Amino acid sequence: MIGDPLPSEKLEGQLLPKHLALPIFASDALSSVAYAPQELLMILLLGGLAFLTFAPWVAAAVVVLLVTVVLSYRQLVKAYPSGGGDYEVAHKNLGEKAGLVVASALLVDYVLTVAVSVASGVDNIISALPFLGDWRVELAVLFVIVIAAVNLRGVRESSKAFAIPTYLFIGSIFLMIVTALIRTAFGDAPVAESAQYSVNAANLGQAAMILLLLRAFSSGCSALTGVEAVANGVPAFRTPKVKNARKTLGLMGGIAIVLFAGLTAVALISGVHYAENPCDLQGWAECATSPQRSLIAQIAAATFGNNSILFFVVQAATAVVLLLAANTAFNGFPLLGSVLARDSYAPKSLNTRGDRLVYSNGMIVLALAATVLLLVYRANLTQLIQLYIIGVFVSFTLGQSGMVKHWISLLRSGNVPSGERSSIVRSLCINAFGAFLTAVVLIVVTITKFTHGAYLVFIFMPILWLLMLGVNRYYRDVEKEIEVDPVTTFGSRGDHAIVLVGKMQKPALKALDYAIAARHDSIEAVHVSIDDESTEHLQKQWIEQNIHVPLTIIESPYRDFGIPLIKYLKHRREEHGSEVVTVYLPQYIVGHWWESLLHNHRAHRIRQQLMLCHGVTVALVPWLLDSSSLIYGRRSRPLPGQDRRGEPVRPVARRPLEPASKTTGHTHGHGARGAGSATGPAVIPVVTGTPVNAGQTPASPSGTGGSPMPGEKPPTETKKVPARAKR
Amino acid sequence: MIGDPLPSEKLEGQLLPKHLALPIFASDALSSVAYAPQELLMILLLGGLAFLTFAPWVAAAVVVLLVTVVLSYRQLVKAYPSGGGDYEVAHKNLGEKAGLVVASALLVDYVLTVAVSVASGVDNIISALPFLGDWRVELAVLFVIVIAAVNLRGVRESSKAFAIPTYLFIGSIFLMIVTALIRTAFGDAPVAESAQYSVNAANLGQAAMILLLLRAFSSGCSALTGVEAVANGVPAFRTPKVKNARKTLGLMGGIAIVLFAGLTAVALISGVHYAENPCDLQGWAECATSPQRSLIAQIAAATFGNNSILFFVVQAATAVVLLLAANTAFNGFPLLGSVLARDSYAPKSLNTRGDRLVYSNGMIVLALAATVLLLVYRANLTQLIQLYIIGVFVSFTLGQSGMVKHWISLLRSGNVPSGERSSIVRSLCINAFGAFLTAVVLIVVTITKFTHGAYLVFIFMPILWLLMLGVNRYYRDVEKEIEVDPVTTFGSRGDHAIVLVGKMQKPALKALDYAIAARHDSIEAVHVSIDDESTEHLQKQWIEQNIHVPLTIIESPYRDFGIPLIKYLKHRREEHGSEVVTVYLPQYIVGHWWESLLHNHRAHRIRQQLMLCHGVTVALVPWLLDSSSLIYGRRSRPLPGQDRRGEPVRPVARRPLEPASKTTGHTHGHGARGAGSATGPAVIPVVTGTPVNAGQTPASPSGTGGSPMPGEKPPTETKKVPARAKR
């Protein structure tokens, strides 16, 4: 009686256990420890070697922030388990405009995630294989293209293969940190290759010193990027979803802190000196020709020995995890797009699950934008980092502020059981602190980064914001325009059919056949003549084939098809008065994309022109070319963001369906072919009485309108039960 | 009784008199004298200054060739006045494959015409304004973009504004030559700035010397490019077309010879030394930093004084004529495309006159290809010239060979009046000599240019050739597939209508209204439910509005629209047997291109899915949004290649039409609004008797098929006279 519960069950089977969800959703967050310590130390080094003594304090501040943000997100997940993340929170609690600020910030940050992660990945590859140094930009662009191509082709983010590199990365970095610390404990501290180089100490005033410390902190904050990915992935967790997601978040935070703190400590111990401009390192002769090795590469070389197997393992794992982080943006971007589309801030087509083309466009935009960034900044990680994390902190701050408002209004609503009250107050406090801290960091980040390139983010975010608002207003206007109102009345009459015949070919005959089957009041075939010879041939064939429908020839001295046809329709209208004319157009259905380059353009154009004509319905009669059989059974590829939505794995076009008869007891006698039956339709009984709006044809001379159709069967009066439990 | 002859008359009024046709069609051919003498002398200079003594002889060879080719084309125009040019001649006389070789050669050459002309134009601009020297490539790409944009926007090639620069070019160059010669005669010979520089004489063997002379000749042959443009433009000439076109060809040949010979002579007199690599010029200190000035610029500076007004006039006229030559390719390319499409070697859509989109794509391809060439070759004229003219001579050779075959078969057919026999024999001799000479030159050009980059042409031409052949074979297969055959029978029955309703909005009500007006056997509204709330809202509204059509709800647990609908249709099919189902889809019509990004994607996808379904007709009911009123009155821009086809100037969408009543005496009583009536339709009388193929429904239970439609009016038995004289 409950219906077929399979989809939900199936869904559960596809959901992610914690040990898979962690690596899959956390690759973005964890991979950022690959560049955060390096950028932190690099900025400090601008002030000279003495500044490195501040490093532990700056790193500690980053860790505090990381703890705060993770705790804050654990509250957010509890309150909004739908996966909408900061956008949803800000939109619901702070209003549309704040929500759009978050959305535009996130869109910009997805682009930067791709650019930064790929740049860092390439950096680590070059650190292991220095002969690739001359191909930095080309390699970066190549990786963006490969990731985009893989995603365009369709790849499941939740594939187990995606979990391995993350675990390998965590394991190898952890092993490296532990080895280095143990060696240090035994008095054999690893020494980085750059430890010998010193740098020029800049002569800084106190204000400049503080600014430099804040800049170092800002750069270290890039370790926080990607934390929100888990919050967006809640629907994909196994039940209890919220609890599992919160545990995973905590675990991820712990791992990130250990890796970040450990890498910073070992870097300081081994004396890694990483400079913004390699030639600032005094004593390094080849600074202009050799690439400067990444912090991780220097530590790995110092700890495990240069070019040892473990060195290459660390570098490979780091590079792959960074590329996976770029990959997550290709899942997150379309997902956010579809949420925005649902709320009418982006083209509604983005919300059409299953329309691969739509996602493809989004991915191409993402890939192009990231490529432009990589080209403009020559895949320079340090420069790209300057643009990064502004968006992240905008969304952090607004998200947490929204949560504060959420908890306050929950407390005020008075619907809270007294037992939960203290828990809500605790959540409120955590989020309030998170909002405060992230807001402060946002200000710091903006101040320290604005002149270093981040101003670009403040140009693009408002543009996106205005675009989204404009789209929304457009949809609102159209909605208003097409609203049912009491003034507009319907009630057309007349029923003439025109079949457009080009040549005597099967598609045209099929269209004619269907038009005849539809038994219109009157029917004629129309041929637009642009060439006397073929017209005469058609007329001859028409008589030969003995076709029982009059053939009208319209001369087209200028070789158009649409315009003479429209003139003819207008002419008819003047003679016969207002009537509905159905124009039948044969239409080719092809199997390959390239075939559509070779077909249908004329039909398309005629269709577009006819659609502008008053009182015309365009009836397309498909003719399936042999090659079109290819179309069946396609589109079974996974869609981007599907995993985070917790959607089941299924071939979109081949879902097995149980016969509705099982639940309705209304057997159709085709048990073996049950898969063909429909998802139990529910029919509303016909409401008898005078029609008010549609189909209203007062005193129609031909008796159309409210009266039953000729030969119409009495509509089924039973209301069937929907076959499926609704989600 | 003859009908309205206006179109033909109008046509005549728009045709080009000789004084306009010459500059418009000859800008390509004449502009090539801007670079041909320079490239000829440059190659000779590779052998040292002594080699310049060969220059008159090499130039004379080019002139002989030019005379031959012009004479040959005068024969071609006589035999094929349709404007198809070499492609048509080769295709008709030498067969499909030779025709396609010509077509692929011409397509490649259109791209090169753009690249070479723009590169030379930029060269002449930089010669006048040396500070632009660093922006050579950027300028060239900018010009390609501007020319493409202007053509995408729509511009008439035959505009009088296009004639002025060509006359200015001819006039100013002629004046320059005459001035220089007069000065020489009076002992005050102009001295070019590069006359002082000498070059290293390479030590060449005899074979190398001959090869160098042949290379110089090959480069000089670039003066011949564009001669075929007049032959392609014959339909645009005023009557007597052939005579006028032949006269224009002769005149153009004469001018080209005078300019080419004159420029070469003056260059030799003034001692212009132009080197492939500027630093080969010994004695020129700034060779690495300053741009080498073009031959025309050096002569102009020597003759009129550097930076004099006349110097700038010459440079400006030269640059503009070269850019106009690039522009002609943007007209010729789509025109050739449409001829190829007519013969089924290119997508048929290219032959749809009036579909701007189709031309746009062609132009974008042309612009992109030319841009790539300019970028790869850094807008270097000398290197681009290496690729050029291979295609031109391929088409010359095959075109002339085709003409030879044409004359021979004409003579053999025996249908020739004895008076014309001698004239045909003369034509045959001219074309045979032309074919021989161009074939020899083709071999020379190929040998001398192959290793200098021309091998690329021999890669791209076969690719294009295979593509065109493949398209043709594809169309042939499809044609066969859809041919009417005695096996396939038609005769569908049943007539059910489904109106897809999303929300209770006007577009859905209009679709419902039209479906009711069409009086199908049975009708139902179907709503695909992806959201319970909105479904219940719809059901409530359905009852409120009192709509007289049953509403079926289909559950869509996976949020698709198409698939549940198709399942439902299959289900219906199993219950009711085979029947024709018309699915009504409301469709938005919008006014701006960007609006289409925001609409119709779901409807588009559902339509595509439904078209794969058996027995379904998709009826689109347009709903015109307010913004769509913008669509009316558009598309009045000229189309590329229109002038060469000799087509009339007319706004495509606003052609006035005279009432058909005038000629048929069958007044419709709307004299004042006559413009709205149709182009007199001709109705074939209904053939009584048993229908053979379409509409054959033996023993149809519902009495469809051969029997008249319910309520069908008896078809008009009168055969109306077509209102217009056919072209």
Q: What is the pLDDT of residues A186-217, one digit of tens each?
A: 988 899 988 888 887 767 788 888 888 998 99
Residues with Cβ within 8 Å of B368's Cβ and at least 6 positions away in sequence, in order, are: none
Task: Report the alpha-carbon distance of residue A668 to residue A190 in Å, rounded.
Answer: 77
Q: Could A7 and B493 be called an inter-chain contact, meaning their C-beta atoms sit closer than 8 Å?
A: no
Q: Give B-chain residues touching A638 at CB under 8 angstroms.
A: none
Q: Give B-chain residues touching A517 at CB under 8 angstroms.
A: 492-495, 579-580, 697, 704
Q: Could B702 and A722 be called an inter-chain contact, meaning their C-beta atoms sit closer than 8 Å?
A: no
Q: Is B503 left (phi over 0), alpha (psi -120 to 50) or beta?
A: beta
Taking residues A448-462, report their average pLDDT.
88
Size of interface A-B (CB pairs under 8 A): 446
- Tell me the pTM: 0.69
Q: Give B-chain residues touching A485 at CB under 8 angstroms.
A: 506
Q: From the list A625, A682, A724, which residue is nearest B553 (CB)? A: A682
Taking residues A344-371, report their average pLDDT.
77
Q: What is the pLDDT of residue A642?
A: 65
Tell me which residues of chain B have a pLDDT lower than 50.
1-11, 633-635, 649-727
Amino acid making up residue A23: P
* Residue whose C-alpha is closest to residue A138's, from A155, A126, A151, A154: A126
Q: Give A-chain residues touching B651 at CB under 8 angstroms.
A: none
Contact of A595 with chain B, judged by CB distance below 8 Å, is answered with: yes
Adjacent-strand bridge partners of A165: none
Task: Report the alpha-carbon distance of residue B97 to residue B464 in Å, rounded.
Answer: 12
Residue A44 has pLDDT above 60, yes or no: yes
Q: From the list B598, B611, B678, which residue is nearest A554 (CB)? A: B678
* Other beta carbons less than 10 A from residue B550's beta carbon: 20
Task: Report the alpha-carbon distance of residue B648 to residue B7 in Å, rounded.
Answer: 8
Q: Are A556 and B679 in contact (CB under 8 A)?
A: yes
Task: Report the alpha-carbon distance of residue A687 to residue B545 in Å, rounded.
Answer: 10
Interface with A, mutate which of B350, B473, B617, B700 (most A CBs under 10 A):
B617
| 3-class SS letters over B429-440 | HHHHHHHHHHHH
User: Tokens 């309205």 sit at which residue?
Assistant: B4
Contact of A563 with chain B, judged by CB distance below 8 Å, is answered with: yes
Please give the angle made by the CA atoms of A372, B150 and B310, to the nearest 5 degrees.
110
ipTM, interface predicted TM-score of the complex: 0.71
* Residue A96 C-alpha, separation from nearest chain B C-alpha, in angstroms: 20
* Residue whose C-alpha is closest to residue A586's, from A620, A551, A543: A620
Tokens of A463: 């543009």
Nearest CA in chain A to B541: A484
Q: Could A550 and B715 be called an inter-chain contact, meaning their C-beta atoms sit closer than 8 Å?
A: yes
Q: DSSP of A615-645, one letter per residue? A: TEEEEEEEEE-GGGGGGTT---SPPTTTTTT
Q: Give B-chain residues touching A572 at CB under 8 angstroms.
A: 678
* Residue whose C-alpha is closest to residue A507's, from B482, B348, B489, B581: B482
Residues with Cβ within 8 Å of A377's Cβ and at least 6 positions away in sequence, in order, are: A115, A119, A383, A384
The one-character DSSP state at A528 is E
Which of the pair, A290 or A95, is modelled with greater confidence?
A95
Counted residue by residue, chain B has a size of: 727
Task: Report the alpha-carbon distance of residue B475 to residue B668 in Å, rounded.
Answer: 43
Q: Could B713 and A518 be called an inter-chain contact, meaning their C-beta atoms sit closer than 8 Å?
A: no
Of the pLDDT bands very low, low, confident and very high (cuts 50, 70, 90), residue A701 is very low
Of the pLDDT bands very low, low, confident and very high (cuts 50, 70, 90), residue A663 is very low
Nearest CA in chain B to A631: B612
pLDDT digits 0-9 by tens, B430-482: 999 999 999 999 998 898 888 888 888 999 999 999 999 999 999 888 888 88
Residues with Cβ within 8 Å of B1's Cβ and at least 6 positions away in sequence, in order, are: B663, B721
Task: Report the alpha-carbon distance of residue B392 to residue A383 in Å, rounded.
Answer: 51
**Angle of helix A309-342 relative to helix A136-153, nearest 10 degrees?**
50
Q: What is the pLDDT of residue B68?
A: 93
Q: Give B-chain residues touching A724 at CB under 8 angstroms.
A: 555, 557
Q: What is the mean pLDDT of chain A?
A: 80
pLDDT digits 0-9 by tens, A598-621: 776 778 888 888 888 888 899 999
Element containing residue B282 per DSSP (H, E): strand B281-282
Interface with A, mutate which of B360, B519, B529, B606 (most A CBs under 10 A):
B519
Residues with Cβ within 8 Å of A562's Cβ and at least 6 positions away in sequence, in order, are: A605, A606, A608, A609, A610
Q: From the list A349, A684, A727, which residue is nearest B542 (CB)? A: A684
Q: From the list A355, A471, A650, which residue is nearest B598 (CB)? A: A471
Element containing residue A585 per DSSP (H, E): strand A580-589
Tokens of B358: 């189709």
Q: From the list A546, A677, A711, which residue is nearest B687 (CB)? A: A546
Contact of B639 with chain A, judged by CB distance below 8 Å, is answered with: no
Taking residues A343-368, report their average pLDDT.
76
DSSP H helices, B186-308, are 206-220, 228-232, 241-270, 295-304
Contact of B49 with chain A, judged by CB distance below 8 Å, is answered with: no
Residues with Cβ within 8 Å of B91's Cβ and at least 6 positions away in sequence, in order, are: B84, B98, B99, B100, B102, B343, B402
| 3-class SS letters over B601-621 | HHHHHHHHHHHCCCCEEEEEE
Q: Are B271 and B105 in contact (CB under 8 A)?
A: no
Q: Could A551 and B683 be called an inter-chain contact, meaning their C-beta atoms sit closer than 8 Å?
A: yes
Q: What is the pLDDT of residue A158?
A: 65
Q: Could B619 and A620 be called an inter-chain contact, meaning their C-beta atoms sit closer than 8 Å?
A: yes
Q: Are B580 and A514 in contact (CB under 8 A)?
A: yes
Q: Are A279 and A288 in contact (CB under 8 A)?
A: yes
Can you give the C-alpha Rg of chain A in angstroms? 33
Query: Percent of chain A beyond pLDDT 90?
Result: 34
Contact of B459 with chain A, judged by CB distance below 8 Å, is answered with: no
Which of the pair, B273 or A558, is modelled with greater confidence?
B273
Q: From the list B574, B655, B668, which residue is nearest A676 (CB)? A: B574
Residue A121 has pLDDT above 70, yes or no: yes
Of the pLDDT bands very low, low, confident and very high (cuts 50, 70, 90), residue A671 is very low
Q: Are B356 and B154 in contact (CB under 8 A)?
A: yes
Q: Are A635 and A356 in contact (CB under 8 A)?
A: yes
* Residue B413 C-alpha, separation from nearest chain A C-alpha, in angstroms: 25
Q: Could B723 and A652 be called an inter-chain contact, meaning their C-beta atoms sit closer than 8 Å?
A: no
Adjacent-strand bridge partners of B500: B526
- For residue A722, give Cα distances in angstroms to B278, B501, B552: 83, 18, 11
| 3-class SS letters over B555-619 | ECCCCCCHHHHHHHHHHHHHHHCCCEEEEEEEEEECCCCCHHHHCCHHHHHHHHHHHCCCCEEEE
The bridge status of strand B522-529 relative to strand A551-555 is unpaired
Please give the angle made by the CA atoms of A663, A669 and A673, to the nearest 5 degrees.
85
Q: Could B605 and A692 be called an inter-chain contact, meaning their C-beta atoms sit closer than 8 Å?
A: no
Query: Percent of chain A beyond pLDDT 70?
Result: 82
Task: Report the alpha-carbon distance of residue A256 to residue A94 in Å, rounded.
Answer: 30
Residues with Cβ within 8 Å of A351's Cβ and at least 6 positions away in sequence, in order, are: A338, A341, A342
Residues with Cβ within 8 Å of B590's Cβ and at least 6 positions away in sequence, in order, are: B596, B599, B600, B625, B627, B628
Q: Could A521 and B556 be called an inter-chain contact, meaning their C-beta atoms sit closer than 8 Å?
A: no
Please give the angle made by the CA atoms of A465, A471 and A477, to the nearest 5 degrees.
135
* Residue A231 C-alpha, separation from nearest chain B C-alpha, in angstroms: 23
* Other beta carbons less than 10 A from residue A656's beta carbon: 9
Q: Could B625 and A687 be called an inter-chain contact, meaning their C-beta atoms sit closer than 8 Å?
A: no
Q: Give A-chain residues touching B653 at CB under 8 angstroms.
A: 563
Q: Is B726 left (phi over 0), alpha (psi -120 to 50) or beta?
A: beta
Contact of B3 with chain A, judged by CB distance below 8 Å, is answered with: no
Q: Which residues of A245-267 are buried (b: 16+ CB within 10 A; e: fewer)?
A: bbbbbebbbebbbbbbbbbbbbb
Q: From the list B495, B519, B682, which residue is nearest A517 (CB)? A: B495
Q: Are A547 and B684 in contact (CB under 8 A)?
A: no
Q: DSSP of B437-494, one letter per residue? A: HHHHHHHHHHHHHGGGTTHHHHHHHHHHHHHHHHHHHHHHHHHHHHB--SS-------
Q: Could B353 and A548 be called an inter-chain contact, meaning their C-beta atoms sit closer than 8 Å?
A: no
Tokens of B557: 């647990």
Task: Report the alpha-carbon distance of residue B104 to residue B460 in Å, rounded.
Answer: 8
Residue A8 has pLDDT above 60, yes or no: no
Q: Could B521 and A712 be called an inter-chain contact, meaning their C-beta atoms sit closer than 8 Å?
A: yes
Taking residues A266-274, report their average pLDDT.
92
Residue A65 has pLDDT above 70, yes or no: yes
Tokens of A328: 């997550």
The one-character DSSP state at A494 is -
Beta-strand runs (E) in A639-711: 682-684
Chain center to CA of B602: 34
